Structure 1
Amino acid sequence: MHSSEPRHSPARRGLWWGLGAVVALLAIAASAVLFWPRTAEVTAPAPSPRAPAETPLPTPEPTPTSTGFPVNTSIYDTSALPQVDVFAVIPALPVDADPSQPFAGFAARSKETAAPVWADPTGEPVAALPRDFEFDGTTVAVVEKQEHWLRVLLTGRQALPSAGNSAQLSGWVRTADVDLTPVDATVEVSLTARTIDIVRGEARERIATDFASGTADTPTPLGRSFVMMTRVVPEFGYTRGNPMIYLSVQSPTLDGFGGDPAAVTAFHYHDARSGAISNGCIRLDAEAIAKLSQLPQGTGVRILP
């Protein structure tokens, strides 16, 4: 089909000019887009280098504070003090105030000829613990351990039973004055259950399920004590040559025994060894005595009702 208008009519020419103008404008616009200088990208300024965070200095740990009583470095003349031994009666020394408490796991012995002993570490010494004595008792059980001081059990008595309290004696010594030895065992006696155990940590070795003990008039003393001396005493025929294990505690009712001014409690052999029949000692068979005799001096012993 043909248009009714002539090919070169003014109307047709106008149309072409209009189209050309549009194309030209589009081309110019495209060029503007293509060649218009781009705005430089604004880059955020690099952060200025930061000073490294200061590492805080570790807080110095405080110097350990001395626990317990303060140190005492004074020198004392122990020869002027009453000697702690099995025959001593020293009213200035206290009895064991905590007999149900555990032992500290150490035994102590004086480094020198004797170590001063205190009733109160803030005061003056009232006795002297010898390094050696013919009936031993110089290696003592520790029941409280501080940095500078040790509370120990001692042989001897505060008073005779007829005049006062004859229970287990105690006192304080300076840590610097003694040699300490670890003790891994304690002996536990139950008078009601009639049992004796050697205890090491959680392990218990039962060494007796029956034994003889004190009567109502001469009871076996209760509470804490320690092995004072282990010795064979041939003149005591009832022991049949078995050793006696002497303890640091003495009778609560007898001032003395067998002509001696002491009434020491002991584990020992006896043919009659069942029931409440003794003067306070604990009578055992030979096998139990052999096991007890292997324990070192200063081993703790606890006797329960």
Structure 2
Amino acid sequence: MDDGRPSAATGARRPRRALWTGLAVTFALGAVVVGAWALRPGEPAASVSPGDTPTPTEAASAPMTPSAAPTPTPAGFPANTTAYDVLALPQVDVFAVIPSLPVDDDPFGSFTGEVARSLYDAAPVFADPLGEPVGALPRAYVFDGTTVPIVERQDHWVKVLLTGRQAYPSQGNPAQVTGWLRTQDVVILPIDTRVEVSISARTVDIVSTSGTERVATDFAWGTEATPTPLGRSFVMLIRTDSALWYTRGNPLVYLSVQSPTLDGFAGASVAVTAFHYHDDRSGRISNGCIRLDPGAIARLAQLALGTPVYIRA
């Protein structure tokens, strides 16, 4: 947006690359069994009278019935090892509009503290683990968005936040989208940092296991007509673009979520929310982005791709 977003003028043409055509992979990476263990109790002992009590010798020679070994119950949806032609699927990226991608149903829910990235050129993305894939998440893309945070983890599946939209604001719900990935298709890595933005308090904090670091005590945010989207998202892309004069050479930290009211911006088909520098950076004045001072932007630009972000009212 005014606010800095990938545009046609800055190389927004989507590259087409060779995507993984799909060989079924039969192992699951980093799977953790969190389901219940099914224990089968032994047969109850028959009642006996005092006179029928076996002698020690008889008891020792009585045959022993082995107990059944506990069987783990897989957590969540069943495994799917089908091979898919990901070249035939729409690519999930910042420009994607895929109606079958579900909008995040828990926008202030928690993250697992992990991120996922495709092991191959692309991984199939599912709206429903019991259905067919609706898109393909590339391993590499010019505008990133390929390292995605996990919001639910199962033995065979992970639910993640994604870039792109279900619909343009003028046609439907443009909010943050989600999808499911098979654990066999991705590498899972830990991440212990998140960003917390409070519009009412005008604060931006970086929260990690080592504590909370306040990086801003004031900023600009979206107007009533072009509000800053609330809820959870993640760091999609970090870059510096000298063509965007208002950034004064400071980096932009783009998020996975886009404007709730703008179909596109400045001739582009996207309206991406971002943290960025601007000379005017206080109050409700932006097109949806969070405008910050140079120090705050420099610190946010050090975050890893896929870092979770919460924006609260």
Q: Same fold (TM over 0.5)?
A: yes
Opposite residue 111 of structure 2, the aligned amino acid is F
Aligned with residue 231 of structure 2, among 194, 212, 223: 223
CA distance in 2, matches of 1:76, 1:52: 59
Distance 1:49 1:137, change over 3 A: closer
CA distance in 1, matches of 2:256, 2:219: 20
Distance 1:177 1:192, change over 3 A: same
CA distance in 2, matches of 1:95, 1:57: 53
User: What's the counterpart of residue 142 of structure 2?
Assistant: 134
Aligned with residue 208 of structure 1, among 190, 213, 216: 216
Opposite residue 242 of structure 1, the aligned amino acid is N
3-state SS of 1:287 partner: helix
Instruction: Determine whether 1:150 maps to 2:175.
Output: no
Q: CA RMSD in A?
A: 1.9
User: What's the counterpart of residue 185 of structure 1?
Assistant: 193
Aligned with residue 114 of structure 2, among 85, 95, 106: 106
Distance 1:49 1:169, change over 3 A: closer
Q: Which runs of 5 or more residues in structure 1 are unaligned? A: 1-46
Instruction: Determine whether 1:67 maps to 2:83.
Output: no
3-state SS of 1:289 partner: helix
User: What's the counterpart of residue 39 of structure 2?
Assistant: none
Instruction: Determine whether 1:287 maps to 2:300.
Output: no
Structure 1 residues 196-275: aligned runs within 5 Å? 196-201=204-209, 203-275=211-283
Instruction: Encode CA deviations 1:213-249: one digit per residue, 9 max, x unaligned.
Output: 0000000000110000000111111111111000000
Opposite residue 115 of structure 2, the aligned amino acid is A
CA distance in 2, matches of 1:265, 1:281: 5
3-state SS of 1:126 partner: strand
CA distance in 2, matches of 1:233, 1:53: 83
Q: Which runs of 5 or more residues in structure 2 are unaligned? A: 1-54
In the comparison of the two structures, how many residue pairs are matched?
259
3-state SS of 2:71 partner: coil
Q: Which has the higher helix share?
A: 1
Aligned with residue 177 of structure 2, among 138, 160, 169: 169
Cα deviation for residue 79 of structure 1 reads: 0.5
Instruction: Encode CA deviations 1:139-163: one digit per residue, 9 max, x unaligned.
Output: 1111111110000111000000000
Opposite residue 173 of structure 2, the aligned amino acid is N
Cα deviation for residue 278 of structure 1 reads: 0.3
3-state SS of 1:91 partner: coil
CA distance in 1, matches of 2:245, 2:56: 99
CA distance in 1, matches of 2:67, 2:247: 65
* Segment drifting more, 193-202 vs 239-248: 193-202
User: What's the counterpart of residue 278 of structure 1?
Assistant: 286
Cα deviation for residue 49 of structure 1 reads: 7.6
Instruction: Encode CA deviations 1:113-136: one digit per residue, 9 max, x unaligned.
Output: 110000000011111111111111
CA distance in 1, matches of 2:158, 2:269: 29
- TM-score, normalization: structure 1? 0.81
CA distance in 2, matches of 1:115, 1:48: 64
Larger radius of gyration: 1
List, as ranges, runs of 4+ consecutive aligned residues in structure 1 with deviation greater than 4 Å. Answer: 47-54, 56-61
